[in-house]
Structure 1
Amino acid sequence: MAAPELRFDPVAQDYFDNPYEIYRRMRDEAPIYYDAEQDFYALTRHADVAAAFKDYESFSSARGCDLGMVRSGEVPQKSIIFMDPPDHRHMRSLLNKAFTPRAIQSQRDTVTELVEHYLAKADPNNFDVVQDFSGPFPVEVITRMAGVPEDFRQQVRHWIDTSLQREPGQISWSEENMKANIDSGVYYYGLVLERRENPQDDMISRLIAAEIPCENGEMRKLDDVEIAGFATLLGGAGAETVTKLVGSAVVVFAEHPDQWQMLLDDRSKIPDAVEELLRYVGPVQYNVRYSLRDVELPSGTVPANKPVFLMGASANRDPRAFDDAETFDITRDRSQAQNLGLGYGIHSCLGAALARMESAIALDHLLDFMPRFEVDFDGLERVHMQNVAGFHHVPVKVLR
């Protein structure tokens, strides 16, 4: 019997259910995939995706990062992920100051305190890893750094979830998506105005005080809309990545109990486990760019003026780059190829070190909380989101 026609639809139900089978076929049958109906390209092999991530002069971020945005050409806010150099370079150097190794390490006690707080509240007999644990704690970390008051930190998470939600078949934003983006933007804009009047020891206050060079070389302050845009982005990226990664981690370890036992036997393997999780079930599935010229890649040519999906999650399971690429193995030789789980090139994740630290601390405490556990696989509920994959519910029973 002939295989069904290969079709990649980023908002199809079968893609939400299992993107990896579609990626495998795309890598083998159409590594430079073209969708005539929607007029976009998609790259799935590691060599092509990594090359495109690095080639910012050919693959522009200035039109947005998802298909609806890139096609419309309407970017919702000034934000570093919607910039090309030189603007991107100036903003990145400014924001990097908030994520120095020292700044990240200074968050370790906060992360540990929050992880312990949420696990202490959890019911071992009725534990939803995402709703009770990996959903609430990461957004607390990043919004506290930004300067969001405690009362609004969980609200930020709900805005993020709503803004990224996509129904099967939905490419453009819904009214609910728009409202969540607007509500979030208005909230952060108001917070920026408050911090201008009353600066605090937080990221928003530091961005207000900062200056960046203009095209003519003169220095300028960031405006309120720019700062609100950065705060919105940091809240989203800082929460979503760890929330989804830790939820997926528990599911993967339930499917590979030998690997969980390795961590129980040797906690020093936790950082390696985080890297393998980012490779195997990284939350960020793709980024969309816009081709500014015809580009020659290892697998073929991408023409100018097209939306192009850079499928990092597919590249991370490319057997041309990794031995036994479809196997989850926390002892894997990580020198074989670049892990694209947190991006690559100039737009690699600004908070990557923070995400790694949060995930490692979460795993360490989960090993204590539930050394033996069962996932209710029938109760798993996947998210339907733009760019992001993971679970909304991961019900677990802790075994005595």
Structure 2
Amino acid sequence: MTKSQVVFDPFSEEYFNGPWDIYRRMREETPVYYNEAEDFYALSRHEDVSAAYKDFATYSSAYGLDLAMVRSGEPPPMKMIILMDPPEHRHMRSLVNKVFTPRAIEAMRPMVTETIDRYLSAADPTGFDVVQDFSAYFPVDIITTMLGVPEDKRQQVREWVDTSLHREPGQIEMSDEGMAAIAEAMGLYFQLIQERRNEPQDDMFSRLVAAEIQREDGGVESLEDFEIAGFATLLGGAGAETVTKLVGNAVVEFARHPEQWQKLLDDRSKIPAAVEELLRYEPPVHYNVRRSMREVHLHGVTIPEGKPVFLLQASAHRDPDAFTDPDTFDIDRDRTEAQNLGFGYGVHSCLGAALARMETAIALERLLDRMPRYEVLWNQCERVAMQNVAGWSHVPVRVL
């Protein structure tokens, strides 16, 4: 048997420009991929990726989410819910769940709608950059408003997040600028948490400061400042990036598939299904990295204990063993065929998934009103070069 020549380099220009053919070859030729140069493994088939997301005892989140963090072999110093395994994760999740109930999210709808309308109305009605003039701004504005960040600091949070996630081709470690950006964000959050402890307001920082949960021994537990700051850093990053990229991806894919856009123009009730198909077909998050906590034997390959393992949900979404015609963008596809991993799966399924879905659906509704007919200026489109996150930094359109 000849050795596969597939090269999966998640920090290469080829990868940033669209890794779908790489994913296909990985699924077919090397479903447990090993990168010798960087000493990591990757799972690409839906069955394997979804099983790994549910098996936190084997594939741990406690060592980080990216290659640089996981291969250090040390749990990161920051306390974030996404960097925890049960039972610690369970306690933290039950605390923060209190501010993400379906009722709490639905109560945000007027604010979400107003924010989206405000940014879209400021864009040139004859043509604009969907990302730079619209989707880069409203998601971070929404999530930081919910947190309780002052208005003059909200877009600064987005800039800090972008700086921390940016990777030049070949760059694995976070840059010094990225580290400084994270420190700036944490500093802001610490300051706001202290202010809320002294003077609570109607915001998420105040609710997280006040949140309490009864432990099994009957005692009461609350969150410490550094835990709330870590959660805010995570929320600010996820809230700023996923919807920004999902809306940009949406405009690109509907331009490539105008018959699907027409379906939405004919029937707005299909918008939620369109959001699900976008999450499957062109998700904003392509992977998360886990640490193997024991030796794993899969498809004739042994993954040793203590290795970084990429869980490629974007590849899983194009697996023909999971989805019929997976490379076809179809908002009417059967949703029951396989699990959509766009917002994670298992204990780490995204806390803000309902909010992100709401934001994206409202944004699509408004874009249907604003530009029922449009064309993308393809020669001016640019992709991002980021860790974990995929999508477009520039999607200029002309409204017809």
TM-score by length of 1: 0.96
Residue 154 of structure 1 deviates from its aligned partner by: 0.9
**SS, match of residue 221 in structure 2:** strand
Query: Which stretches in structure 1 are left out of the alignment for 5+ residues?
Result: none
Residue 195 of structure 1 deviates from its aligned partner by: 1.0
Identity over aligned pairs, percent: 65
Bigger shift: 359-368 or 207-216? 207-216
Amino acid at match of 2:316: A
- Given that residues 91 and 212 in structure 1 are in contact (C-alpha distance below 8 angstroms), is that contact kept between their aligned partners in structure 2? no
**SS, match of residue 313 in structure 1:** helix
Amino acid at match of 1:329: D
Deviations 1:330-382 (A, max 9, x none): 01011100001110000011011111111000001100000000101111110
1:71 aligns with 2:41: no
Amino acid at match of 2:386: M
Residue 302 of structure 1 deviates from its aligned partner by: 2.9
Bigger shift: 293-302 or 152-161? 293-302
**SS, match of residue 75 in structure 1:** coil
Per the alignment, residue 245 of structure 2 pairs with 244
Per the alignment, residue 381 of structure 2 pairs with 380
**1:75 and 1:126 mapped to 2: Cα distance?**
44
Amino acid at match of 1:364: E
Per the alignment, residue 160 of structure 1 pairs with 161
Amino acid at match of 1:332: R
**2:300 and 2:160 mapped to 1: Cα distance?**
39
Deviations 1:231-282 (A, max 9, x none): 1111111121111000010000000000001100110110110000000011
1:39 aligns with 2:39: yes
- Given that residues 212 and 222 in structure 1 are in contact (C-alpha distance below 8 angstroms), is that contact kept between their aligned partners in structure 2? no
Distance 1:257 1:340, change over 3 A: same
Amino acid at match of 2:325: D
Per the alignment, residue 208 of structure 1 pairs with 209
Residue 217 of structure 1 deviates from its aligned partner by: 6.2
- Given that residues 65 and 288 in structure 2 are in contact (C-alpha distance below 8 angstroms), is that contact kept between their aligned partners in structure 1? yes
Distance 1:125 1:286, change over 3 A: same
**SS, match of residue 331 in structure 1:** coil
Residue 95 of structure 1 deviates from its aligned partner by: 1.1
Per the alignment, residue 353 of structure 1 pairs with 354
Deviations 1:151-189 (A, max 9, x none): 111111111111100010011111111111111111111
**2:93 and 2:299 mapped to 1: Cα distance?**
29
- Given that residues 100 and 352 in structure 2 are in contact (C-alpha distance below 8 angstroms), is that contact kept between their aligned partners in structure 1? yes
Per the alignment, residue 291 of structure 2 pairs with 290
**SS, match of residue 374 in structure 1:** strand
**2:324 and 2:41 mapped to 1: Cα distance?**
27
Distance 1:177 1:214, change over 3 A: farther
Amino acid at match of 2:34: Y
Per the alignment, residue 362 of structure 1 pairs with 363
- Given that residues 48 and 298 in structure 1 are in contact (C-alpha distance below 8 angstroms), is that contact kept between their aligned partners in structure 2? no
**SS, match of residue 230 in structure 1:** helix
Bigger shift: 148-157 or 269-278? 148-157
**SS, match of residue 64 in structure 2:** coil
Amino acid at match of 1:41: Y
1:322 aligns with 2:319: no
**2:283 and 2:319 mapped to 1: Cα distance?**
14
**2:112 and 2:210 mapped to 1: Cα distance?**
27
1:22 aligns with 2:22: yes
**1:145 and 1:200 mapped to 2: Cα distance?**
11
- Given that residues 343 and 349 in structure 1 are in contact (C-alpha distance below 8 angstroms), is that contact kept between their aligned partners in structure 2? yes
Per the alignment, residue 100 of structure 2 pairs with 99
1:267 aligns with 2:268: yes
Per the alignment, residue 397 of structure 1 pairs with 398
- Given that residues 32 and 298 in structure 2 are in contact (C-alpha distance below 8 angstroms), is that contact kept between their aligned partners in structure 1? no
Bigger shift: 187-196 or 307-316? 187-196
- Given that residues 51 and 297 in structure 1 are in contact (C-alpha distance below 8 angstroms), is that contact kept between their aligned partners in structure 2? no
**1:213 and 1:307 mapped to 2: Cα distance?**
35
Deviations 1:129-169 (A, max 9, x none): 01111111111111111111111111111111111000100
TM-score by length of 2: 0.96
**2:376 and 2:326 mapped to 1: Cα distance?**
24
1:174 aligns with 2:187: no
Per the alignment, residue 194 of structure 1 pairs with 195
**SS, match of residue 34 in structure 1:** strand
Per the alignment, residue 343 of structure 1 pairs with 344
**SS, match of residue 57 in structure 2:** coil
Amino acid at match of 2:12: A
Alignment: residue pair count: 398
Residue 203 of structure 1 deviates from its aligned partner by: 1.0
**SS, match of residue 355 in structure 1:** helix
Deviations 1:275-315 (A, max 9, x none): 00000011011000001012344775433211100001110
Residue 126 of structure 1 deviates from its aligned partner by: 3.5
**1:148 and 1:261 mapped to 2: Cα distance?**
39
Query: Which stretches in structure 2 are left out of the alignment for 5+ residues?
Result: none
Residue 198 of structure 1 deviates from its aligned partner by: 1.1
**SS, match of residue 322 in structure 1:** coil
**SS, match of residue 397 in structure 1:** strand
Alignment of 1:138-157 (within 5 A): 138-157=139-158
**1:176 and 1:114 mapped to 2: Cα distance?**
30
